[in-house]
Amino acid sequence: EAKAHHRGTWVMFAHEHETRMRLQGAIEHALRHADLAAELSLVFQPMVDVGQQRTVAFEALARWHSPELGLVSPDRFIPVAERVGLINELTQILLAKALRVMATWPAHVGLSFNLSMADITAPEAVGRLCALIKASGVDPSRLQLEATETAMIDDFAQAQAGLARLKALGVSLSLDDFGTGYSSLAYVHRLPVDKLKIDRSFTQGLMEHDSARKIIRSILELSRSLKLDCVVEGVETHEQAALLQALGCRTMQGYLFHRPMAPEAIGPYLRREDVGTSALDDTRFSRR
Ligand code: C2E
Ligand code: MG
Ligand code: MG
Ligand code: MG
C-alpha cells in the first residue's frame, strides 16, 4: 500500500519536474531568440500613502509577450534570464523604458525598479545602469531600486561596491520581499538600505494568523527604529488596509489600490486621484 502510494507520488513529482524542465527549456529557447526590446514591456503598480490617500510612486513590473509562448510571467522568465546570462541586457532595456515612462509623470511621483543580483555584482552592468540613469535626466531622488537580500549576499563585497556606485547617484534602495527567505535581518545594517518592503505572504495571513500580525508589527517597529521607510505589499482588502494602518503602516501596495497598469493608464489614474474620484475614496482611511 504505502510503497505503491510513495511510488505514485514519486512518479507524479518526476512528471512535474519534467514538465517544469521542458517549460524552462522552452522559455530559454524563446528568450535567446527574442527581440527583447520589442517583446518586453512594463506595467506599473501604485504605492500609496494611505494617510494622504496619494500615490507616491509606481513599481515597474516586467511583462514578456513572446510570439511563441504568449504572455510569460516574470516569476518564470526572470530566473531563466538570470541563469542563462541575459539578465543584464534585459534590465537595461527595462530600465530605459521605465525611465522614459517616468519622465512623463508629475515630479512628486517616484519610480521603483527591480534589480537582480547580477545587475548589482557585475561592474560593467552597474556602469551601464548608472549611465542610463544619468542620461535620462530624471531627478535620481525619485528613483528607488529594489533587490532581495539574497541578491546581495551571494557576492557581498561586489554587491556592496555596486550598490555604493548606484547610491552615489542619489537613488534609494529597497529590500524587497522582506521577512522571507530571500530577505531577512542578517544584512540590513551592513547594506545602504533605505526601505523595507514587507512580503505579501504576511499580508495574506494577516487576518487569520496572529503570528503574521506580530511579524508585521515587529518589522514596522524595526523600520522605525532603524529610520527606514516601510511598504507593505499585497494589500487586497479594506480590512487588511485598516489593520495595517492601525499598526502604523503608511505606505501600501496591492490590488486594493490598483493592479499593475499599462503606462497609458497612469495619467488618467493620477488625474482621478487629484480630483478625489479614485477608488480610494470609499475606503475608511482617515486623511492625515
Ligand atoms: P515583486 O517585486 O515582489 O513584485 C510584486 C508582485 O506581486 C508582482 O507580481 C505584483 O503584480 C504582485 N502583486 C501586487 N499586488 C498584489 C496583491 O494585492 N495580491 C497579489 N496576490 N499579488 C500582488 P509580478 O508582476 O508577477 O512580479 C513577480 C516578481 O517578478 C516580482 O516580485 C519581482 O521579483 C520579479 N520582477 C518583476 N519585474 C521585474 C524586473 O523588471 N526585473 C527583475 N529583476 N525582476 C522583476
Ligand atoms: Mg519588487
Ligand atoms: Mg516584493
Ligand atoms: Mg517577489
State the ligand closest to the CA atom of 72: 1
| Cβ–ligand 1 contact at 46 (below 6 Å) | no
> Model confidence at 181, in pLDDT bands (50, 70, 90)?
confident
Q: What single-letter DSSP state applies at residue 237?
A: S
* pLDDT average, residue stretch 151-165: 85
CA torsion, ordered 24, 27, 32, 34, to nearest 10 deg: -170
**pLDDT at residue 184 greater than cutoff 90:** no
**ipTM tops the 0.90 cut:** yes
pTM confidence score = 0.92
pLDDT value of residue 190: 81
| Cβ–ligand 1 contact at 259 (below 6 Å) | no
Ligand 4 center from residue 268 Cα (angstroms): 27
| Cβ–ligand 1 contact at 114 (below 6 Å) | yes
Three-class DSSP category at 67: coil
Q: What single-letter DSSP state applies at residue 230?
A: E
State the ligand closest to the CA atom of 178: 3
> Model confidence at 24, in pLDDT bands (50, 70, 90)?
confident
Q: Are 242 and 225 in contact (CB under 8 A)?
A: no
* pLDDT average, residue stretch 86-97: 98
Average pLDDT taken over every residue of the chain: 90
d(CA 145, CA 117): 12
Give the lowest-confidence range in 2-6, 44-48, 170-174: 2-6
d(CA 51, CA 65): 37
What contacts 87, CB < 8 A, 6 or more positions away? 78, 81, 116, 118, 119
Give the lowest-confidence range in 3-12, 62-71, 132-141, 194-203: 3-12
Q: What single-letter DSSP state applies at residue 285?
A: P
Extract the C-alpha cell encoding 190.
551592513
| Cβ–ligand 1 contact at 282 (below 6 Å) | no
* pLDDT average, residue stretch 216-237: 94
Ligand 2 center from residue 11 Cα (angstroms): 35
Ligand 3 center from residue 177 Cα (angstroms): 4
| Cβ–ligand 1 contact at 45 (below 6 Å) | yes
pLDDT value of residue 284: 41
Nearest to 235 by CA among 279, 201, 262: 201
Ligand 2 center from residue 3 Cα (angstroms): 43
Task: With residue 14 as reference, give the H or E element that holds it.
Answer: helix 2-32
